[in-house]
């Protein structure tokens, strides 16, 4: 049947001849053999251009290997990665970008058709770091979206959500300027961060996945699937990883104990479907627990800065003193008449409250906090400002906690409790005995007009010894900072290294701890 229809697929020889001639020049044996047949084959596309390689959402031991835009060129690596994943439970490389579960249920047929069309049309564009896909946006909006939009928010996608990245003048028309070096957005984001540091800021960070896990055996279940021990007291919180049998990171989360048999589990928005699968597929049938996905119904506002307590106190009768509601604690309180879950946690390095409230009332909550904050010079801030602030506190982000990294790689063993049984414990113990081939290092870089974006080579005496995972400018300290995975002998504080930025080697030094407030005094914020 194919041969009988071959005339339908007759190639445009004028169009392809120049490319064939170049191929013959590079590989003369092709010209000698001649062209027997030209086949125009279909190319599969995914909405973001990366493969769908790995577990199918919601199913156990059902695998996908499709969407290979580059086709045969990806075949060997895809086959190796999928085989390792099937046999060992994880692959030796990070699979976050290809995991099919990076898309939620919101990625329906129409989304796929429209996004794949955009991806096809823009695939050869220069991939600026600020670039966003512009079709099929506004799929998941927080209840405060109208407020942030009115203030000039420029949004980025995060797990289907529209998340404010920074706030800009109207003439930017909702788009951040493109550039590999520092652009006009650089100072906008730094100004937001400095305002948070000096007073108080409010940010819409609804792009988290939020699960409620309840029941008589909820604590036992979470202790089994999480590497850290669950908080034993009501109102306690913990930061934890979820590990696989190879001891590498499947996910990370903040867990708060709201009642004797009820926990609030928060992870990244882009991880929602993958972490939900990890929890539900590891639930034993006999465990008496109920898992509920509260992601779409719950929005999150972050109130941060030294004046955050004063602003929040104007909107609630709850006791916000350190004695009643201290750092790393959780409480269910009413704010502006809205019942919500408040977590006293901070990714900014400042006194901060994460307010998890019904998404339908998030705009109402924003208005109340904004009114109360006017007397304190409240500002809106986005994820770009947050990124700079977290770098100054040496907080690891998702780029450092990839699926090919163990807690030893990522230097987060403080969030692993080896005194209990959990998935991956034996592998972590084994890795401790043998050591890892690389470890994350915290770097200060002598950069002037650009900062690390991730992927830059790290050098020692001109030889590559690692690569950057993430970086940003520190808005309070004025330092260009980065995290990089390097060979362990080069992660010693004080070690002098180099980082390759735009073809130029910039001097770098390994730091021994946060460059800003290493004692966490600003977050503890007495009284």
Give the dihedral of Cα atoms 397, 398, 399, 402; nearest 10 deg: 130
Over residues 178-200, the mean pLDDT reads 97
Distance CA 84, CA 63 (A): 12
Angle at the Cα of 367 from the Cα atoms of 263 and 526, rounded to 5 degrees: 60
Whether residue 14 is predicted with pLDDT greater than 90 in this model: the reply is no
Distance CA 443, CA 103 (A): 33
What separation in angstroms does the CA of 94 have from each of 241, 298, 323, 448?
A: 16, 30, 42, 31
Check: CB of residue 116 under 8 Å from CB of residue 47: yes
pLDDT at 87: 94
DSSP string, 139-194: SB--TTHHHHHHTTEEEEEETTEEEEEEE--GGGTT-PPP-SS--HHHHHHHHHHH
Where residue 333 falls (left for φ over 0; alpha for ψ -120 to 50; beta otherwise) is: beta
pLDDT band at 43 (very low <50, low <70, confident <90, very high): confident
Check: CB of residue 333 under 8 Å from CB of residue 318: yes
On the 0-12 / 13-18 / 19+ scale of CB atoms within 10 A, 275 is buried
Summarised one tens digit per residue, pLDDT across range 362-409 is 999 999 999 999 999 999 999 999 999 999 999 999 899 999 999 999
Distance CA 94, CA 403 (A): 5
Whether residue 7 is predicted with pLDDT greater than 70 in this model: the reply is no
pLDDT band at 3 (very low <50, low <70, confident <90, very high): very low
Check: CB of residue 95 under 8 Å from CB of residue 54: yes
Written in H, E and C, the secondary structure of 492-525 is CCCCEEEEEECCEEEEEEECCCCCCCCCCHHHHC
Give the pairing of strands 504-510 and 161-167: unpaired
pLDDT at 1: 34
Over residues 248-264, the mean pLDDT reads 97
Q: What's the mean per-residue pLDDT of the chain?
A: 94
Extract the tokens encoding 490.
């080069």
pLDDT at 79: 95
Over residues 49-54, the mean pLDDT reads 95
pLDDT band at 11 (very low <50, low <70, confident <90, very high): low
pLDDT at 527: 64
Whether residue 351 is predicted with pLDDT greater than 80 in this model: the reply is yes
Instruction: Name, in order, each residue with C-beta under 8 angstroms of 147's C-beta and a sequence gap of 6 or more.
Output: 204, 363, 366, 367, 370
Over residues 449-478, the mean pLDDT reads 97
- The percent of residues above 70 in pLDDT, for the chain, comes to 97
DSSP string, 251-298: EEEEEEEEETTEEEEEEEGGGHHHHHHHHHHT--TT---EEEE-TTTE
Length of the chain: 527
Q: Which residues pair with 204 in a beta bridge?
A: 301
Whether residue 526 is predicted with pLDDT greater than 80 in this model: the reply is no
Is the entire prediction scored with pTM above 0.85?
Answer: yes
Check: CB of residue 245 under 8 Å from CB of residue 427: yes
pLDDT at 369: 98
pLDDT band at 10 (very low <50, low <70, confident <90, very high): low
Whether residue 247 is predicted with pLDDT greater than 60 in this model: the reply is yes
On the 0-12 / 13-18 / 19+ scale of CB atoms within 10 A, 139 is middle
Whether residue 4 is predicted with pLDDT greater than 60 in this model: the reply is no
- CB count, 10 Å around CB of 401? 23
Over residues 428-448, the mean pLDDT reads 96
Q: Hey, is 441 helix, strand or coil?
A: strand
- The percent of residues above 90 in pLDDT, for the chain, comes to 86
Over residues 430-436, the mean pLDDT reads 95
pLDDT at 511: 98
Instruction: Name, in order, each residue with C-beta under 8 angstroms of 148's C-beta and a sequence gap of 6 or more.
Output: 142, 164, 167, 204, 380
Summarised one tens digit per residue, pLDDT across range 276-313 is 999 999 987 778 999 999 999 999 999 999 999 999 99
pLDDT band at 8 (very low <50, low <70, confident <90, very high): very low
């Amino acid at each position: 049947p194919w041969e009988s229809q071959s005339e339908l697929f007759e190639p445009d020889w004028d169009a392809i001849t120049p490319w064939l001639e170049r191929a013959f020049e590079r590989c003369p044996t092709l010209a000698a053999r001649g062209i027997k047949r030209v086949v125009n084959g279909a190319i599969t596309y995914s909405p973001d251009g990366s493969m769908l390689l790995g577990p199918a959402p919601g199913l156990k031991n059902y695998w996908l290997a499709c969407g290979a835009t580059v086709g045969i060129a990806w075949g060997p690596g895809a086959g190796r990665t999928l085989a390792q994943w099937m046999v060992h439970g994880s692959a030796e490389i990070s699979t976050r970008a290809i995991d099919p579960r990076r898309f939620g249920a919101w990625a329906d047929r129409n989304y796929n058709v429209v996004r794949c069309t955009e991806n096809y049309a823009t695939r050869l564009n220069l991939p600026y770091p600020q670039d966003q896909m512009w079709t099929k946006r506004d799929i998941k909006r927080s209840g405060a979206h109208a407020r942030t939009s009115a203030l000039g928010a420029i949004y980025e996608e995060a797990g289907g959500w529209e998340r404010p990245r920074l706030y800009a003048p109207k003439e930017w028309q909702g788009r951040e300027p493109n550039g590999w070096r520092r652009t006009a957005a650089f100072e906008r984001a730094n100004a937001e961060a400095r305002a948070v540091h000096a007073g108080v800021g409010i940010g819409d960070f609804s792009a988290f996945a939020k699960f409620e896990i309840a029941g008589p055996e909820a604590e036992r279940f979470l202790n089994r699937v999480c590497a850290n021990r669950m908080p034993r007291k009501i109102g306690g919180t913990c930061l934890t990883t979820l590990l696989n049998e190879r001891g590498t990171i499947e996910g990370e989360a903040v867990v708060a104990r709201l009642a004797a048999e009820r926990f609030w589990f928060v992870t990244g928005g882009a991880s929602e479907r993958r972490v939900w699968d990890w929890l539900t597929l590891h639930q034993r049938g006999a465990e008496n627990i109920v898992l509920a996905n509260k992601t779409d119904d719950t929005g999150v506002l972050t109130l941060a800065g030294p004046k955050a307590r004063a602003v929040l106190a104007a909107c609630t009768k709850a006791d916000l003193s350190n004695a009643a509601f201290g750092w790393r604690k959780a409480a269910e309180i009413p704010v502006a008449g809205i019942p919500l879950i408040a977590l006293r946690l901070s990714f900014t390095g400042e006194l901060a409250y994460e307010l998890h409230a019904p998404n339908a009332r998030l705009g109402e909550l924003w208005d109340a906090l904004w009114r109360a904050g006017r007397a304190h010079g409240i500002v809106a801030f986005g994820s770009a400002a947050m990124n700079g602030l977290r770098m100054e506190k040496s907080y690891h982000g998702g780029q450092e906690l990839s699926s090919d990294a163990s807690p030893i790689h990522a230097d987060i063993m403080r969030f692993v409790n080896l005194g209990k049984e959990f998935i991956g414990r034996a592998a972590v113990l084994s890795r401790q005995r043998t050591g890892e081939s690389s470890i994350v290092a915290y770097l200060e870089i002598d950069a002037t007009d650009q900062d690390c974006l991730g992927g830059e080579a790290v050098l020692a005496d001109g030889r590559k010894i690692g690569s950057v995972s993430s970086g940003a400018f520190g808005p309070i300290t004025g330092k260009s900072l980065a995290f990089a995975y390097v060979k362990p002998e080069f992660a010693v504080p004080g070690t002098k290294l180099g980082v390759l930025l735009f073809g130029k080697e910039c001097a770098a030094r390994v730091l021994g701890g946060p460059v800003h407030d290493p004692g966490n005094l600003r977050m503890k914020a007495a009284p």
